[in-house]
Amino acid sequence: MDILFIITIFFIGFFGSFISGMVGVGGSIIKYPMLLFIPPMLGFTAFSAHEVSGISAVQVFFAALAGVWAYRGTGYLHRKLIIYMGSSILIGSFIGAFASNFFPESSVNLVYALLATIAVVLMFLPKKQIPEQPANQISFNRALAASLSFIVGIASGIVGAAGSFLLVPIMLTVLKLPTRVTIATSLAVTFISSIGSTVGKVATDQVLYGPAIVMIIASVLAAPIGAKCGQNMNTKVLQWLLALLILGSAIQIWMTLF
């Protein structure tokens, strides 16, 4: 790989993973459009939607793992919720990732645009501010959490995004969890989801390993830094930052489709 190309991919991975660790997402919501548009803007060969989704799936696995590691011992990881949502989203993400190989490129981009748009709507819905409290004191609807995560897993597996940019607004608005518990727990569920997505993408030969390795290195470095910064930021700022990032990505993809 050309050194400038490697630097470009590293920058995309580092920036996206820093933001993902800060706001509790796997980062594909940011890196998917960056990988699609930035390399050709700089004169490099463009990735296809399938290649971007494959790179994203592998990268998210390591970014989410690094983010979760940064939240260990904080009391914000809801273990029971991770088990219920994680097991459901793992199955769904594998199904979606495997099925995506049969989708045309435009359909993969369309699924991403639809997911991002739904996430934006959920993020901007008015919601009651839930007081911050330790995860082990919070109850949740188990059937609702499992069913929603399964649906998210199928759709997100198609684009290699692990679904965290939908999990966060779902946890905030539907399951009504506090922001910091949502951010930490969504990273753990994202990590589990990325296992299914990665296996599905690798099995269907949708991964370019060179760019994926560069993204992984950037993710392992940046995600813990972002997570530490997020622990000290105002939760309202974190929610608005995530919403604006998702909105910008959705607009960019819709413009490309039309």
Q: Kindly report, residue by residue over 171-206, the tens digit of the pLDDT.
A: 888 888 887 888 888 888 888 887 877 888 888 888
The whole-number pLDDT of residue 1 equals 65
The number of domains in the chain is 1
Give the burial class of 202: count Cβ atoms within 10 A of its Cβ; 0-12 exposed, 13-18 middle, 19 or more buried: middle
Q: At 134, is the pLDDT very low, low, confident or very high (cuts 50, 70, 90)?
A: low
Q: At 10, is the pLDDT very low, low, confident or very high (cuts 50, 70, 90)?
A: very high
The whole-number pLDDT of residue 98 equals 83
What's the distance, CA 79 to chain centroid?
19
Q: What is the mean pLDDT of the chain?
A: 81
The whole-number pLDDT of residue 27 equals 64
Give the burial class of 127: count Cβ atoms within 10 A of its Cβ; 0-12 exposed, 13-18 middle, 19 or more buried: middle
The whole-number pLDDT of residue 6 equals 92
* Neighbour tally for 7: CB within 10 Å: 11
* Neighbour tally for 21: CB within 10 Å: 31
* 239 has a pLDDT exceeding 70: no
CB-CB contact of 18 with 222 (8 Å): yes
* 112 has a pLDDT exceeding 60: yes
Higher pLDDT, 224 or 83: 83
Nearest Cα neighbor of 170 from 89, 56, 61 is 89
What is the rounded distance in angstroms from the CA atom of residue 206 to the CA atom of residue 97? 10
Range of the domain at 152: 3-257
Q: Tens digit of pLDDT for each residue in 20-60?
A: 777 666 566 677 778 888 999 998 888 887 888 788 878 77
* 162 has a pLDDT exceeding 60: no
What is the rounded distance in angstroms from the CA atom of residue 74 to the CA atom of residue 64? 16
The whole-number pLDDT of residue 8 equals 93
Tokens of residue 3, six digits: 């050194």
Tokens of residue 193, six digits: 């989801």
CB-CB contact of 245 with 19 (8 Å): yes
